[in-house]
């Protein structure tokens, strides 16, 4: 089963968090598409694309991987949820709704400032997600049960 790990990936702390979570998911037996690792790396010196070509490549690759995956795991941490990940969730939700593809859409929020509020995220995100986990052990247990 393929998990698309959506979320912020633009600073060292976010990248480290994503890498650690990916390792745990892969140890459970999942394949994981981690855009910062498996996608188009913006700082790749071999990349000779202009900004438009780079954006087009990222869009197509990430869109294709969202559609290919079985699970979208949205890391909701940050000042606001990552806008690219929100779009990816929208793609996955539309695919699930329009094609009846068995697709699991879940969120993971570790930011304790908002994780335990009555409505920790925008209603449009919460409505698309089947569950929002706030504890890693619960998230991993849930995913292990899917395998």
Q: What is the pLDDT of residues 97-143, one digit of tens each?
A: 999 889 999 999 998 776 555 666 888 999 999 999 999 999 999 99
Is the pTM higher than 0.85? The answer reads yes
3-state helix, strand, coil in the chain (%, to 5): 50, 15, 35
Question: What CATH number should be reported for the domain whose range is 2-146?
Answer: 3.40.50.450
What is the predicted pLDDT for the residue at 42?
56
Instruction: Say how many residues make up the chain.
Output: 147
Which of helix, strand or coil describes residue 3? strand
What's the confidence (pLDDT) of residue 53? 86
pLDDT at position 89 over 80: yes
Q: Which segments of 10-122 does DSSP mark as H helices, in order?
A: 12-28, 35-38, 51-68, 83-99
Strand order in the sheet with 2-6: 31-33, 2-6, 71-75, 104-108, 131-133
Closest alpha carbon to 23 in 9, 12, 37: 37
Q: What's residue 119's pLDDT?
A: 61
Confidence (pLDDT) at 122: 87
Q: What pLDDT, on the 0 to 100 scale, is given for residue 43?
A: 57
Q: What is the pLDDT of residues 9-50, one digit of tens each?
A: 989 999 999 999 999 999 999 999 999 999 876 556 556 778
- Residue boundaries of the structural domains of the chain: 2-146
């Amino acid at each position: 089963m393929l998990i698309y790990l959506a979320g912020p990936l633009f600073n060292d702390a976010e990248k480290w968090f994503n890498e650690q979570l990916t390792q745990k998911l892969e140890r459970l037996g999942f394949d994981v598409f981690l855009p910062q690792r498996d996608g188009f790396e913006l700082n790749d010196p071999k990349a000779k694309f202009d900004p438009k070509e780079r954006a087009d490549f990222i869009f197509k690759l990430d869109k294709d991987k969202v559609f290919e995956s079985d699970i979208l795991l949205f890391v909701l941490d940050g000042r606001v949820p990552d806008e690219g990940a929100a779009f990816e969730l929208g793609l996955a939700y539309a695919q699930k709704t329009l094609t009846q593809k068995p697709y699991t859409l879940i969120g993971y929020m570790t930011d304790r400032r908002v994780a335990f509020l009555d409505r920790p995220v925008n209603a449009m995100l919460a409505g698309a997600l089947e569950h929002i986990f706030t504890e890693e052990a619960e998230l991993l247990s849930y995913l292990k049960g899917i395998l």
